[in-house]
Chains A and B, each alone.
Chain A
Amino acid sequence: MTGVAPANAPAVGTVRTPGVTTAESPLLEVTDISAFYGRVHALKPTSLHIGRGELVTVLGPNGAGKSTLLRAITRLTPASGRIAFEGRDVSGLPTHRLAELGVIMVQEGRGLFGQMSVRENLILGAYTRPGGDMDKQLGRVFELFPRLKERIDQISASLSGGEQQMLAIGRALMAEPKLLMLDEPSLGLAPRVASEILATLGELNRQGLGILLVEQKAPLALKLAKRVYVLSLGQIAAELPASEIRSHHDLARYYLH
């Protein structure tokens, strides 16, 4: 699977005017988002953007603030700063309202409903689509992850790590998101399973889905993305075309100390 980004992905470093609602306004535009845990400034004012149909990767070492960034964007963690989605200011909206707009996140650790079956997890994924065609949507997910169909009535906690991650992504897709954010989806998976899952993300992106992919280990994620943010010590240390990073060694140059 090669990491060909869609042709309409914006070029690196495009200048943007915040708050202008046009067809060109980015899918997601985050301006000076900042979060504290008590007195620990875990996320210093950070800005980033994702174009429509773009796959962007955020890389950073353990404890850099990657999860905090995603939790701040989805309002699981209180944060200051401005968030615009499709050109509309959504800074004041709570987590579930963002989901209704199509911003869906797959949490670190997958966030499955462990005592529920695969089917129930998937059905809950479509919570924001009550009138939707459930069977059609399930069919789409099973096409991407046939393993889930075989395990449909199994309790999700009893799935293997890879299957759980597939379920987490499949559940997110049931919501027909416009922006899919994933927090270290390859964490704890065998390399082959991890690359299979990331390949599926590449495929989804080619179909036009905007993706914000957070990873700690670079190689797989770099194949997919055209543009990479490097997060270190709670701030963005660099924004680069993925082609400039070939190894973890290259990446380490951008880490702050």
Chain B
Amino acid sequence: MADITQLLQSLITGVGVGLIYGLVGIGFCVIYNASGIVNFAQGVFVMLGGMICHALLTRLGLPLVLAAVLAVPIVAGIGMLIETLVVRPMWNRGATMFAIILATLATQIMIERITILTLGDQPRSFPEFTPGGPLKLGDIAVGYQLFWILGCGALMVGLLWLFFTRTRTGRALRACSQNREAAALLGIPVGRMLLVSFALSAALGAVAGILVTPTQVTAFNIGTPFGVNGFIAAIIGGFGSAAGALAGGVLLGVLQAAAIVLFGAGFKNVAALSTLLVVLLLFPSGIFAGFKGFKRA
């Protein structure tokens, strides 16, 4: 049986990775709210964030800050490319939601292959943003990167909140999520909003990927686990609000970490999927439904 220090230690790790799931979950919600599309290529943005940042670091020799800051708009651009080349043509032809969602899944696989061909199939990592550490609290070690994840996570949520409540485009995106027809009738280009949502969502995924890479490794195939866990985080949070997805992610990360300590590493996914099932059965609109900033119309 695990001792209490070990458990606390793993919970702290769980909070960190859970926040990352939360960011990915917010990415799911941004696109879903704007369009009703569940973008199953969400995980590749996490992978691309880490991989492109790594490539900029090692191949171009850029400093970490610059590589990180550059990687985000590059991935946002890839998100816009996916919208333009895959999603928009289907959307315009009136393809079913099911077909569009499958196409995003195919896109994920394609991007993974392209990544292998261009950036290689080996796992990669880069150093923590702040060297040194970990911080010792008694017997528990807290890596500095956790503070970066906390800080950047909070910053992202704050910026998102400002964007959605204070800017013309952010408001228009929310309008689309509540009533797309009414939005169009007021002159909001609903199609263009889809592009904005893909850019935003990809940027969020990239930030998550860059933040998490120093704590583990990144490779062409990490998109799926992050995508699945981010998706579960979004569902726990009710698939509506940023705060809900973030809280859902932390809950998921902590439960997974606890399951690993208590029952062994094989139970990581069991914990995630049981959490999903329990939430779907007992709280079909998410356990934080009360927090929901906005519902779908």
Contacts and interface: CB of A to CB of B under 8 A. Distances in A.
B171 A112 contact: no
A170 to B, nearest CB: 12
A236 B171 CA distance: 39
B174 interface: yes
Nearest to B297: A114
Interface residues on A, range: 20 to 34
Nearest to A110: B182
A94 B188 CA distance: 11
Nearest to B296: A115
Contact of B185 (A111, A120, A123): A111
Contacts of B178: 113-116
Given A112-B182, A113-B182, A128 B171 contact: no
B179 A127 contact: no
A147 interface: no
B181 A175 contact: no
Contact of A113 (B175, B190, B293): B175
Contact of B174 (A105, A116, A171): A116
Contact of A74 (B172, B175, B185, B293): B185
B184 A130 contact: no
B179 A99 contact: no
Contacts of A104: 185-186
A128 B187 contact: yes
Given A96-B190, A123-B171, A127-B168, A115 B294 contact: yes
Interface in B148-196: 168, 171-172, 174-175, 178-179, 181-190
Interface residues of B, number: 21
A175 B172 CA distance: 14
A136 B189 CA distance: 25
Interface in A73-119: 74, 76, 94-96, 99-100, 104-105, 107, 111-116
Contacts of B175: 113, 116, 124
A167 to B, nearest CB: 12
A47 B293 CA distance: 44
B32 to A, nearest CB: 16
A120 B186 CA distance: 13
Nearest to B168: A130
Contacts of B294: 115-116
Nearest to A171: B186
A127 B175 CA distance: 11
B14 to A, nearest CB: 32
Contact of B295 (A94, A99, A115, A130): A115
A104 B187 CA distance: 9
Given A96-B190, A114-B297, A125-B186, A76 B181 contact: yes
Contact of B188 (A74, A96, A115, A120): A96
Interface in A111-163: 111-116, 120, 123-125, 127-128, 130
A171 to B, nearest CB: 7
Interface of A: 74, 76, 94-96, 99-100, 104-105, 107, 111-116, 120, 123-125, 127-128, 130, 171-172, 175
Given A111-B179, A114-B179, A127-B172, 7 more contacts: A96-B190, A99-B184, A99-B187, A113-B179, A113-B182, A125-B186, A175-B187
12 contacts: A95-B181, A96-B185, A96-B189, A99-B186, A100-B187, A107-B181, A111-B185, A114-B178, A114-B297, A115-B295, A116-B175, A127-B168
